[in-house]
Amino acid sequence: MGMKTVAIIGALDEEVALIAKSLTHVTHTAKGSLDIVSGTVDSFGSDVIKVAATVGGMGLVNAAATTQLLIDEFAPDAVIFSGIAGNLNTHLHINDVVLGGTLRYLDTDMRLVGQWKPGTADAPVEEFHSDDRLLEVADEALANAGITHITGIIASGNYFVDTPQKAEEVIRLTGADAVEMEGAAVAQVAARNDVPALVIRALSDNADTDYEVFKEFDISEYADTAARLAVDIVKRL
C-alpha cells in the first residue's frame, strides 16, 4: 500500500491557497485550465498523505471535468468537494454545514442518466452518496471545530436558486436541505471511477437571495474555515 492521496476540489482561490500553505513539497500542475497544487501533509497517525487541490469551476460540467481530471492525474483514494450552498432547511442557519449524505440532480431524468455506473440499465440509480467513512470523519472534524452540521440531502443543478418560488420547487422535487451547482456531478464521476467521495457545503444564504446581493457576501472568512476543515479531515484519514 503506497501513500494515500486525497483530491480536494474547493470553491475559492483563497481556500486552495490556504490549503497549499499547510502542505509541504508543494508543486503546481497546469492542466485542463486548472491550477492544481499538490503536496504532502502529516496525518494524525504516522502516515504522510498526498493532497492535490484545485478550484473546479462552477456548474455540473466544470465539476465533472475537474473530478475526472484529478482522478486521472493523481489516482486519489478519496475526493473531497468543499463549497457553499443555499440553505433550504429552516432548522439551519448561515455558516452551518450540510454533509451530502445524499446528492440529487435538479432537471435530470434519472431513468436515463441513472443507467450508467453505479447504476445499470435494469437498475438505474436515482441519487448518489458520499462515502460513509468520509462522512464519519467529516462529522468528527466538524464537531471538533464546533460547527453546527447535519448529514442531509443536497440538490445540484445548473442554475442559481434565487427566489422563494425556485427554492420551494427544489424542496418539492428533491427534499433537499441545501442547493448548489456541483455536488451531484462530483459524486457521480467519483462513483463511475470507484473513488469514495465527500461533499461538504457551508450555507451562505437562504437560497432566496438575488444573485447580485449574493455576490456581496464576504466569503473570505468561509475560505479560511473550509481550508482548515479540509486539512483536518485529511489528517484524520
Summarize pLDDT for 127-164 with one digit per residue, the tens.
Answer: 999 999 999 999 999 999 999 999 999 999 999 998 99
Which triple of cell numbers denotes residue 70?
484529478
Structural domain count of the chain: 1
Task: Give the number of other CB atoms < 10 A from CB of residue 30.
Answer: 8
Which residues have a Cβ under 8 Å from the Cβ of 207 and sit 6 or more positions away? 85, 86, 87, 88, 161, 162, 166, 167, 170, 178, 179
Cα separations (Å) of 55 from 17, 63, 115, 184? 10, 9, 29, 17
| Per-residue confidence (pLDDT) for residue 213, from 0 to 100 | 74
Note the pTM of the prediction, 2 decimals: 0.95
For 170, the domain range is 5-236
Known active-site residue 15: yes
Helix locations, 130-219, DSSP H: 132-144, 164-174, 183-192, 211-214
pLDDT in tens, 71-124: 999 999 999 999 999 999 999 998 899 999 999 999 999 999 999 999 999 999
52 has a pLDDT exceeding 90: yes
Cα Rg for the chain, rounded, in angstroms?
A: 17
From 73, 77, 139, 205, active-site residue: 205
Beta pairing class for 4-10 and 48-55: parallel
Residue 78, domain CATH: 3.40.50.1580
Known active-site residue 205: yes
From 14, 15, 96, 162, active-site residue: 15
| Per-residue confidence (pLDDT) for residue 232, from 0 to 100 | 95
| Per-residue confidence (pLDDT) for residue 6, from 0 to 100 | 98
The answer to whether the bond into 196 is cis (omega within 30° of 0) is no
49 has a pLDDT exceeding 90: yes
